[in-house]
Amino acid sequence: MEPVMAVVVGILFAASIYMMLRRSIVKLVIGLILLSNAANLLIFTIGGMVRGLPPLIAEGDKLPAGGWADPLPQALILTAIVISFGVLAFAVVLIHRAYEVVQEDDLNKMRSTDT
């Protein structure tokens, strides 16, 4: 599965970078969302992909029965998902504010910091 996911992650990254290079600020937002998904999947893929062995211990046991998927990347990604939501909200509102002030959605025209 990993080689396939590697390609998927690559495509996600490419799509996000492409969107972030657009001059429309709305496309920048879409690029950001794609970027966080790509990053999360990247960590997940590198952590190793195992089917049907969640890192949960059945009641009465001391270890997950029959092996486990690595829980550490999962913990990292879990917080990353929530943080990326917070950051996305921040970015979106910031962009919205910038648009309101400048009345211009072309990033190339938002060059001066004084407006």
Partner 1 sequence: MLLAVLSGFILCALAPWLTRSLGDRAGWLLAILPAGLFAYFLGWIPEVIETGAVTLQYPWIPGLDINLSFLVDGLSLLFALLISGIGTFIIIYAGGYLHGDPYLPRFYAIMFAFTAAMLGVVLSDNLLTLFVFWELTSITSYLLIGYHHEDKEARWCALQGLFVTVAGGLALLAGLLMLAVAAGGEYTLSGILASDGLQEYPFYTAMVLAILAGTFTKSAQVPFHFWLPNAMAAPTPVSAFLHSATMVKAGVYLMARLNPALGGTELWFYMLGIFGAVTMFTGSFMALRSTGIKAMLAYSTIMALGTLTMLIGIGTEAAIVAAMAFLLAHALYKAALFMLAGVLDHETGTKDITRMGGLRRAMPITFVTACVAALSLAGLPPLFGFIAKELMFEATLHGGALTTFTTVLALLSAIMIMAVAAIFALRPFIGARTETPKSPHEGPLSMLIGPVVLAALSLVFGVAAFIPEAALLQAAVTAVHGRPVDFHLYLWHGVNVPLLLSAIAIVIGLLAFRFWDAVLAGFRRMPFIDRLGPERGYERLMDGLVWLAEWQTRVLQNGYMSNYIITLVLTTVALTGWTLFVHTGTAIPLGDINVRIYEWFTVGLILAGALFATITGSRLTAVAALGMAGFGVALVFVEFSAPDLGTTQIMVETLTVILLVLVLYRLPAFVNFSSPGTRLRDALIAASFGGLMTLLILVVHDINVAEPISDQLVQWSYPEGHGRNIVNVILVDFRALDTLGEIFVVGLAAIGVYAMIQLRAEDRRQ
Partner 2 sequence: MTAMGSLILRTATRLLLPLLLLFSLFVLLRGHDEPGGGFIAGLVGATGFALYLFAFDAERTRSLMGVDPRLLLGLGLFAATVSGLPGTLLGHAFYTSLWWTPTLPLLGEVKLSTPLLFDIGVYLVVLGSVMTIVLALAGAEEKAEETTWNR
Applying CB under 8 A, among 65, 102, 105, 115 the residue interacting with partner 1 is 105
CA dihedral 49→52→55→57, nearest 10 degrees, is -160
Distance from C-alpha of 23 to C-alpha of 42, rounded to nearest angstrom: 27
* 29-64 per-residue burial string, b: 16 or more CB within 10 A, e: under 16: bebbbbbbbbbbbbebbebeeeeeeeeeeeeeeeee
Does the footprint of partner 2 cover residue 86 (CB under 8 A)? yes
Contacts to partner 1 from residues 59-78, by CB under 8 A: 59, 61-64, 68-72, 74-75, 77-78
How many residues line the site for partner 2 (CB under 8 A)?
A: 10
Task: Please report how close the Cβ of residue 6 comes to partner 2 at its closest, in angstroms.
Answer: 27
Contacts to partner 2 from residues 41-70, by CB under 8 A: 54, 56, 59
Does the footprint of partner 1 cover residue 35 (CB under 8 A)? no
Applying CB under 8 A, among 93, 94, 104, 115 the residue interacting with partner 2 is 93
98 binds, options partner 1, partner 2, none, Cβ within 5 to 8 A by partner type: none
C-beta separation of 58 from 66 below 8 A: no
102 binds, options partner 1, partner 2, none, Cβ within 5 to 8 A by partner type: none
Q: Looking up tokens 């190793």, which residue turns up?
A: 48
Distance from C-alpha of 56 to C-alpha of 97, rounded to nearest angstrom: 44
